[in-house]
Structure 1
Amino acid sequence: MRYAVPIRVLLHRFAYLLLVLMAFMLLMLGKAEVALIERARTVAMDALAPVLNVIRQPVDAVQDMVRGVNDILYLRSENARLRDENARLLAWREAASRYERENARLRNLLHVTGEPVTTFVSASVVGESASTFFRTMLLNAGARDGVEKGQAAVAAEGLAGRVMEVGQRSARVLLVTDLNSRIPVMLEQTRTRAILAGDNTDMPRLEYLPSSAQLSPGDRIITSGHGGGVPAGIPVGVVASITDGIVRVQPFVPFDRVEVVSIARHGFARLPGPSGIPLSVQ
């Protein structure tokens, strides 16, 4: 009791200082333990890395062997498929050559004139107008590039429209969805002719279809080439709906994302003139 009382007094007097020292010591001990753990982990990683590398080599070798076997099996099946496809293509080439010779012989017998020549001029879309009254796009190619009024504007997906105005350095294209657009088309499967008429909606109509025409949603529509200017066989769209006798066509071209189109310069390249002088006809 003689020593306990002074010790207790000292503890009460320096209790705050002792608590601060203990907290500081705990903090330093925690940092020392983290550094020690990190050091031990680093040493263990350095020691295990060679062992893991040795263990991984057989696993990698087995995986490479499995991949090689899979590649060989795939190449074998691909080779068989390509052989079959090559045989079919050879048969088609032989048939095409035979039909080409027969076609040339018949044309010579019938004195058939040559097919129209189609060349293309690429142009970028620099502006567009899609309002209630007009649906057009502006191109950066004009008369100096050989663009003429009435020529077809073809995007990567299919027919976009026809040239309606031509300047020296620019041209304006009337889209197939415009109210004033009229394009001669036909059903690809049945060859039934019609007129694709725009009405300022996203899906133009098919007009002047024969009463005996047979069509259904999903049928492909292509240009017929009648009337000149637009080459035949250009994809236009598919039949989207048939409601109350009105046939709607969904165009292939996404008009809001078109950046480049090709202007089709379509016509007979040369025809003999009255005195034997070749005349150029576009």
Structure 2
Amino acid sequence: MRFKYNIFFVIVFLLPICLGILGVTFPKAIDEVRIFSTQITLPIFKTQATVIRWFRDQGQHLLEWAHLSQENDQLKRKVQELENELNSVSMLKKENERLTALLDLKSRNTGPSIPALVVGRDPSNWSNFIVIDKGKKDKIYVNTVLVHPEGLVGKVISAGKNSARAILLTDSQSRVSALDERTRDVGLVEGEGSAMLKMTFLDYNSQIQVGDLIVSAGLGGVYPKGIPIGRVTMVSEEKNRLMLYAYVKPFVSFSKLEEVLCVNK
């Protein structure tokens, strides 16, 4: 143990003194030693400096990546907010256009009328019945006619105090007397439970043709005359060859109804 202590003493205290004396006595020799030692340690110092720079650069890159990642998340949130705002504006614009058209239709209607929102559909017959948010307290009764800026919708078949249920033209139980605006031929437009309507009881010598405008005829005491229904897409003979029938594409997109105008005669 004492021997190790002596070696430590020599290295720590005596070696610097000896080197100092040699430096004064043999300066050139010391310079040579310093140059030699520098050449030996230079690669180590270069490697050390390279490692330090690498870790420093990596740390900087990590900080920059974290900052960019945070900035990217903020930009994504901002883009999402702007998209939501744009969608809201678009929806409000479309709603405003629909309501404006409905008010214009109301102003052109000479009889009593009131706008209503479609608030539900019949689960058992989704595409052919609707529920509106107006009822008897709003003077909505059975056979109140529903119209849309695009054309005829249907009629109320039952009414409560605050809501009413209506049948659409597309239902197989729906019947509307109709008129070809060009030829003045009268027939009966029936629903078939699909997107198309069928106009029956047309005279065999009728000049009805594809593209003709079909409107309500005003017969039967329910539907007013002159409300647009749709356009003829096909004309053919009945099986008995005594009459003609035509398929009519309605103007109203029944599956997209959101508002209607309720008209009482």
TM-score where L is the length of structure 2: 0.59
Mark the structure with the bigger radius of gyration: 2
When structure 1 is superposed on structure 2, of 131-140 and 167-176 the one drifting more is: 131-140
The residue identity in structure 1 corresponding to 2:263 is A
Evaluate the alpha carbon distance shift between residue 233 and residue 4 of structure 1 in structure 2; reply closer, same or farther with a 3 A threshold: farther
> C-alpha separation between the residues in 1 aligned to 2:123 and 2:216?
23
Tell whether 2:228 aligns with 1:235.
yes
Evaluate the alpha carbon distance shift between residue 21 and residue 234 of structure 1 in structure 2; reply closer, same or farther with a 3 A threshold: same
Residue equivalent to 1:250: 249
TM-fit CA distance, 1:218: 2.0
The residue identity in structure 2 corresponding to 1:263 is C
State how many pairs are aligned. 179
Residue equivalent to 2:136: 143
> C-alpha separation between the residues in 2 aligned to 1:129 and 1:25?
73
> C-alpha separation between the residues in 2 aligned to 1:149 and 1:132?
19
TM-fit CA distance, 1:131: 5.3
Evaluate the alpha carbon distance shift between residue 196 and residue 25 of structure 1 in structure 2; reply closer, same or farther with a 3 A threshold: closer
- Conservation of the 8 A alpha-carbon contact between 1:132 and 1:200: no
> C-alpha separation between the residues in 2 aligned to 1:14 and 1:203?
91
> C-alpha separation between the residues in 2 aligned to 1:231 and 1:258?
21
Residue equivalent to 2:175: 182
Q: Which residue, 40, 45, 49 being the options, matches 1:21?
A: 49
TM-fit CA distance, 1:254: 1.0
Identity of aligned residues (%): 28
- Conservation of the 8 A alpha-carbon contact between 2:143 and 2:222: yes
C-alpha RMSD of matched pairs (Å): 3.1
Q: What residue ranges of structure 1 are gaps of 5+ in the alignment?
A: 32-115, 267-282
> C-alpha separation between the residues in 2 aligned to 1:164 and 1:152?
10
Deviations 1:134-161 (A, max 9, x none): 7110111112211221221101211110
Residue equivalent to 2:242: none
1:72-111, aligned counterparts within 5 Å? none
Q: What residue ranges of structure 2 are gaps of 5+ in the alignment?
A: 1-28, 61-108, 239-244
Residue equivalent to 1:65: none
Residue equivalent to 2:114: 121
TM-fit CA distance, 1:20: 3.6
1:1-282, aligned counterparts within 5 Å? 7=35, 9-21=37-49, 118-129=111-122, 135-242=128-235, 246-266=245-265
- Conservation of the 8 A alpha-carbon contact between 1:125 and 1:261: yes
> C-alpha separation between the residues in 2 aligned to 1:243 and 1:8?
111
When structure 1 is superposed on structure 2, of 8-17 and 146-155 the one drifting more is: 8-17
Deviations 1:220-255 (A, max 9, x none): 111111112211111111112335655211111111
Name segments (4+ residues, structure 1) moved above 4 Å: 2-6, 22-28, 130-134, 243-246
Deviations 1:102-145 (A, max 9, x none): xxxxxxxxxxxxxx962212211111137569711011111221
TM-fit CA distance, 1:21: 3.2
> C-alpha separation between the residues in 1 aligned to 2:185 and 2:152?
18
